[in-house]
Amino acid sequence: MKAVLAALTALLIAVAAQAQTAPGAHRILLIPVDDRPAVSHFAGMIGDIAGYDVITPPIEILGKFKQPGSPTAILAWLAKQDLGKFDAVIASADMVAYGGLIASRTDRSSETLAKSRLRELWKIRKGSHETPFYVFSTLTRIAPTAVAENRTWRQDLYYWATYREQYRLYNDPEAKRKMDIYASRVPQLERERYDAVRARNVAIQTELIKMTYHGAFNQLTFGQDDAAPVGPHTREIATLNKEIDRLKLRGQTQFCMGIDQISNCLVSRAICDRDHWSPTVAIRTADTKGLDQIAAYESEPIRESLKDQIETSGATITDNPDKADYVLYLNTPKRDGIQFDAFVKEMSASIDAGKRIAVADTNLGWSGTADPELFDSLTAKRQGPQLVSYAGWNTAGNTMGTTIPAANAYLLALRSKVDGLRRETAARKFVLHRLVTDYFYNRYVRPEAYRMIEQMQNGDREEILSAENEAKVEAFVKQDMADHLQKTFNEQMVANPFKADGHTYAVIGLENVVVELPWPRAYEVHIDFNLVVREVSP
């Protein structure tokens, strides 16, 4: 009987700690840029740390991969919501205007149609003007979406666009020569379509700036999708900055490297704004020169990107770690080995001392995979669960814009006295989620899944072209990731108790584990689970 009661108690604690729609809970409405986990699930988990439920439209109207979402259905759904009962609304302009991120790179929606959809969003907002609206828009990446149809010329288009911009900026004859070579390898129609789409997107973003000026939105954030130091985005950003300065909107607009993490940043920002509080963060870097490096797929130094992510998320940088609400340990690209050793030693000592520590691993390389030495240093001493947040995935902007909002949410939860069990359980869940996904999936499981796809499809791995192949790849991913999740859980969470509101708890199990490929490709994985916790004697 005692065993049954203990199991029931643990189950009830797990349900209470991870409830998603508790009556009277704070709520944020999020229209994500598409249906991938990184752009909505992460934001939901971050909101949960701070005691907020993040509500999104039904997944079936958000589209999937090359199938765009339905702006008409999303706007109709939004119009039916009582927006006055939400603490904030966060909306992807790309989803509303075009049907999502992938659709924003195509010419399916005209400029006129896109503008009409955004004006409908404004009309809906006018019905609940007191609810803050945070809107974000993608600065179009250089390369088109990686799909089978453009495999033969996709990379050539990237180089053509990049060298063309170098020629325009510097009148470099060598850049002109290379531009012409790559132009000859890309169908003229595709080059014309590429330019037309980019011009339309800038026109829509200019319209968003004007709408913000006229009171449509409280904040407007631009996220730079995959880029390089020089490319077509260079002139586009200059055009937008000119309009922002003309309308004197610096205080209501932000630019960030990356797009997939923007919903995370804005969830944090909305909560900070509601509480009229900004957490302070001190920075420690693995290499003193690291902040001046430009990370893969980005166009500005880490130093500037870090500042943008912090400010967009609602936090404030401080030079005094003793007075900071938390310290961010930032692993920088191509870090020096000796400095890294000292960095890890200091980080480990700070964690052991009970300080509030967040870790962002931007030493990701072109593959977007977390640094194994940093991962090992955290997991060898089972320090992961003691972190307020951790991330190391895809790009530096994506990583910093995940770690920082999660840390902010934790500090906001402490300050606003959110239920301690919910806060601690949600924070541990997100750290475990990141350790397993950012490290094991991206470094080990994804490369093997790619090899499977290449063998099935004669070297073509961008997308899985048949349901049969997708089922085989997904079966492998499910099994391998479930194993990594269980192993990491056993090593990091079990027999690693924590305190919340004066009580001591142990994490004793995983339940409701979900592993799946959200799109017919192996690039990302969707993982979800609940932690089962039980109160133990102190």
Q: Band the pLDDT of 459: cuts 50, 70, 90.
A: confident
> Mean pLDDT, to the nearest integer, of 114-126?
98
Around Cβ 416, how many Cβ atoms within 10 Å? 15
**433 CA to centre of own chain:** 13
Q: Could you report the per-residue pLDDT of 18-43, keeping only the tens digit for each?
A: 443 444 579 999 999 999 999 999 99
* pLDDT at residue 442 is higher than 90: yes
What does the pLDDT read at residue 538? 67
Evaluate if residue 14 carries a pLDDT over 80. no
Q: Cα(53)–Cα(20) distance, rounded to whole angstroms? A: 6
What is the pLDDT, as a whole number, of residue 462? Answer: 87
Question: What is the overall mean pLDDT for the chain?
Answer: 95
Q: Give the pLDDT band (50/70/90) at residue 288.
A: confident
Write the CA distances from 109 to 45, 130, 199, integer angstroms.
Answer: 32, 31, 13
Mean pLDDT, residues 8-27 taken together: 51
Q: Over the range 492-519, which residues count as b (16 or more CB within 10 Å of their CB) and which as e? A: bbeeebbebeeeebbbbbbeeeebebbb
Distance between CA atoms of residues 295 and 291, nearest Å: 10
Domains of the chain from N-terminus onward: 2-274 (3.40.50)
Asked if the model's pLDDT at residue 16 lies above 70, the reply is: no
Residue-wise pLDDT for 172-191, tens only, equals 999 999 999 999 999 999 99
Question: Do residues 371 and 404 lie in contact, with contact meaning Cβ atoms separated by under 8 Å?
Answer: no
Q: What is the pLDDT of residues 501-511, one digit of tens each?
A: 999 999 999 99
Tokens 């490369």 sit at which residue? 447
Q: What is the predicted pLDDT for the residue at 3?
A: 46
pTM: 0.94
**For residues 470-490, average pLDDT:** 98
Q: Give residue 24's pLDDT.
A: 54
With 70 as the cut, is the pLDDT of residue 114 above it? Answer: yes
Closest CA to 411 of 389, 429, 392: 389
Give the residue-averaged pLDDT of 508-533. Answer: 98
Please write the tens of the pLDDT for every residue from 396-427: 999 999 999 999 999 999 999 899 999 999 99
In the predicted model, what is the mean pLDDT of residues 275-297?
A: 96
pLDDT tops 50 at residue 158: yes
The pLDDT, as a whole number, for residue 497 is: 96
Tokens of residue 488, six digits: 């990491």
Question: Per-residue pLDDT tens for 313-347?
Answer: 999 999 999 999 999 999 999 998 899 999 999 99
Query: What average pLDDT does the segment 454-483 reach?
Result: 95
Nearest C-alpha neighbor of 87 from the set 222, 325, 268: 268
**For 44-72, what is the mean pLDDT?**
98
The kind and range of the H/E element at 366 are none
- In this prediction, residue 407 carries a pLDDT of 99
Question: Are the beta carbons of 484 and 437 closer than 8 angstroms?
Answer: no
User: What is the strand order of the sheet 88-92 is part of?
Assistant: 52-55, 26-31, 88-92, 133-139, 219-224, 253-257
